[in-house]
Every structure is written in structure tokens, then in C-alpha cells.
């Protein structure tokens, strides 16, 4: 379980997260939505230790990660995978190498084990034939599927997605969402920052609505989309739906 307690994050004088508390239970899919600049990415980045919180605590499986040393930080990052809006594949490595690099380097897997796992994952995201290709030869949708496979190669228990389809051409959104739905079905615990309301509605167990650094609503998708409680959520939904 991921538990965030009274989290604050400031950049200089700009308080970007204000008193955020939330829980992500094992097996849950949580959709995080809200207008641009509301702090969604910063929240994910705090959970993944890419940013250091100014105040408050984050627990991952009961370990307080806000007071963590370097070695345990790597353990946590193995446990929590991240998929970025702009993929960030390693351009100088082939697709297969992208998938095997971290498992070999960080998890001390043998090359053989890593390759086997990578091939399995590429099959799962439908890209077996691209194993030897370099990322620059792939379409956006293919890149993002490789990025998801790369995160999965570490066998994480939690997967964070930061707007995984926002940089894609419309015709490629579905192939990525399909992979994510498949993951959700298999019980992967996921936190997804997204502007894809259809996906949030269909796949999420819980919707978190953020605005100006605060969580304004936490609700089931049906409840949130049909009866938003706050005016700001209503405004937001009017704009995006």
C-alpha cells in the first residue's frame, strides 16, 4: 500500500502541493485528474522520490520513504515503476537493451534471465518484432509501449503513469490504453495521471481530483463523473468532457 500523509512541496516560495493525503491499496487503479499546474506530476514524482517533499510523509509498504537512505531508495525505486509522458527511452540502446539494462544492473539478474523476461514483455505489449530496433525507429505509441515494458521488466509492485498518452497522436492513444487496461485487469496497482476521462471512468477504482495543489475530491468514477461535489470539479469536467 502507498500512503501519503499531509504532504507539502514547495519550489522556492511556490507551494505546489498543500496538505495532500491519500491511499493507494494493492490492486487498485487510481486516476489522478485536474487542470494543468495543479501539482499532479509533482505528486507522482514525490512518491517516486524524484522530488523531496518539503513536509509530510510517504509510506510505501509501511516504509517511510521520506527519511530514507540511498540503498533503500534504490529498493523503493525497484518497487515503484514510472512511465513518463515523453517516454524517455534510452536512445542509444535497442528496445531489448532498454528492457534488460536495469534488471541486469540493478536487480543483478543474469543476461539470459533478463532477455527471456524482456521477450515475454515485448510479446505482451505486441512489439516482439521490434526487439532489435532503436527507439528512434518507433512511433510514439510503440515507444510508450516499450516504456511500459521497460518499467515492468523491473517487476514493480506499483506503477505510476504521468500522462502516458498526452504526447501521442490521437490514433495511437488506444494501443497504449489497451496495454494499461490489460495491466489493470491482471491486478497491477497503478496511479495514473490522465486527461483520458473515458479511461478513468472505465478502469479506475478511484478518482482523485486535484486543483491548485490540493485534493478536492476522492470518489468512485461513477460518483465523480455524474455527481461532482465541488464547483471546480464541475468546471473542469465541463471543459474536458
Partner 1 sequence: MDIFSGFSLIAHSIPYIVNGVWTTLEIALVSAISGMILGILLSLCKIGRIKILAWLADFYTSIFRGTPLILQLTIVYFATPQLIGYDISAFLAAVITFGFNSGAYMSEIIRSGINAVDKGQFEAAGALGVPYGAMMKDIILPQAIKKILPAMMNEFITLTKESAIVSTIGVLDLMRRAQVVAAENSLYFPPLIVSFVVYYILVMILTILGRLFERRMSRSD
Ligand X SMILES: Nc1ncnc2c1ncn2[C@@H]1O[C@H](COP(=O)(O)OP(=O)(O)OP(=O)(O)O)[C@@H](O)[C@H]1O
Binding footprint of ligand X on the chain (CB under 6 A): 11, 14, 16, 34, 36-42
CB of 63 to ligand X, least distance (A): 24
Cell of 205: 477504482
Is 9 within 8 Å of 42 (Cβ atoms)? yes
Q: Closer CB to Mg ion, residue 41 or residue 142? A: 41
Q: Which burial class, exposed, middle or buried, applies to 79 when counting CB atoms under 10 A from its CB (0-12, 13-18, 19+)?
A: middle
106 binds, among partner 1, Mg ion, ligand X, none (CB under 5 to 8 A by kind): partner 1
Closest CB to partner 1 among residues 90, 225: 90
Cα angle 173, 155, 114 (rounded to 5 degrees) comes to 100
Which listed option, ligand X, partner 1, Mg ion, none, makes contact with residue 78 (CB within 5 to 8 Å by class)?
A: partner 1
Q: Indicate the residue among 149 and 199 with the shorter CB distance to ligand X.
A: 199
Q: What does 141 bind: Mg ion, ligand X, partner 1, none (CB cut-off 5 to 8 Å by kind)?
A: none
Distance CA 135, CA 192 (A): 24
- Residue 110 to residue 114: CA distance in whole angstroms: 6
Q: Which does 39 bind (CB under 5 to 8 A by kind): partner 1, ligand X, Mg ion, none?
A: ligand X
Rounded CA-CA distance 79/100 in Å is 16
Q: How far is CA 53 from the centre of its chain?
A: 18
Interface residues with partner 1 (CB under 8 A)?
48, 50, 74-75, 77-78, 80-82, 84, 86, 88-92, 101-102, 105-106, 134-136, 150-151, 154
Q: Least distance to partner 1 from the beta carbon of 20, Å?
A: 20
Whole-angstrom distance, CA of residue 240 vs CA of residue 194: 11
The interface partner of residue 42, options being Mg ion, ligand X, partner 1, none and the CB cut-off 5 to 8 Å by kind, is ligand X
Amino acid at each position: 500500500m502507498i500512503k501519503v500523509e499531509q504532504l507539502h512541496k514547495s519550489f522556492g516560495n511556490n507551494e505546489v502541493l498543500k496538505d495532500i493525503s491519500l491511499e493507494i491499496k494493492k490492486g487498485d487503479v487510481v486516476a489522478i485528474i485536474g487542470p494543468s499546474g495543479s501539482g499532479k506530476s509533482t505528486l507522482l514524482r514525490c512518491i517516486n522520490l524524484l522530488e523531496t517533499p518539503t513536509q509530510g510523509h510517504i509510506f510505501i509498504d509501511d516504509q517511510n520513504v521520506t527519511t530514507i537512505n540511498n540503498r533503500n531508495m534504490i529498493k523503493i525505486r525497484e518497487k515503484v515503476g514510472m512511465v513518463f509522458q515523453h517516454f524517455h527511452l534510452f536512445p542509444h540502446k535497442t528496445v531489448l537493451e532498454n528492457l534488460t539494462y536495469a534488471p541486469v544492473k540493478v536487480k543483478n539478474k543474469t543476461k539470459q534471465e533478463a532477455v527471456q523476461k524482456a521477450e515475454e514483455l515485448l510479446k505482451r505489449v505486441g512489439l516482439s518484432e521490434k526487439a532489435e530496433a532503436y527507439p528512434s525507429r518507433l512511433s510514439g505509441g510503440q515507444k510508450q509501449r516499450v516504456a511500459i515494458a521497460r518499467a515492468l521488466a523491473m517487476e514493480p509492485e506499483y506503477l505510476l503513469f504521468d500522462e502516458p498518452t498526452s504526447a501521442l497522436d490521437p490514433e495511437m492513444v488506444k494501443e497504449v490504453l489497451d496495454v494499461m487496461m490489460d495491466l489493470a485487469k491482471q491486478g497491477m496497482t497503478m496511479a495514473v495521471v490522465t486527461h483520458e476521462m473515458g479511461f478513468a471512468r472505465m478502469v479506475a477504482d478511484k478518482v482523485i481530483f486535484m486543483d491548485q495543489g490540493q485534493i478536492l475530491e476522492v470518489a468512485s468514477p461513477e460518483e465523480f463523473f455524474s455527481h461532482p461535489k465541488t464547483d471546480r470539479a464541475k468546471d473542469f469536467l465541463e471543459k474536458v468532457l
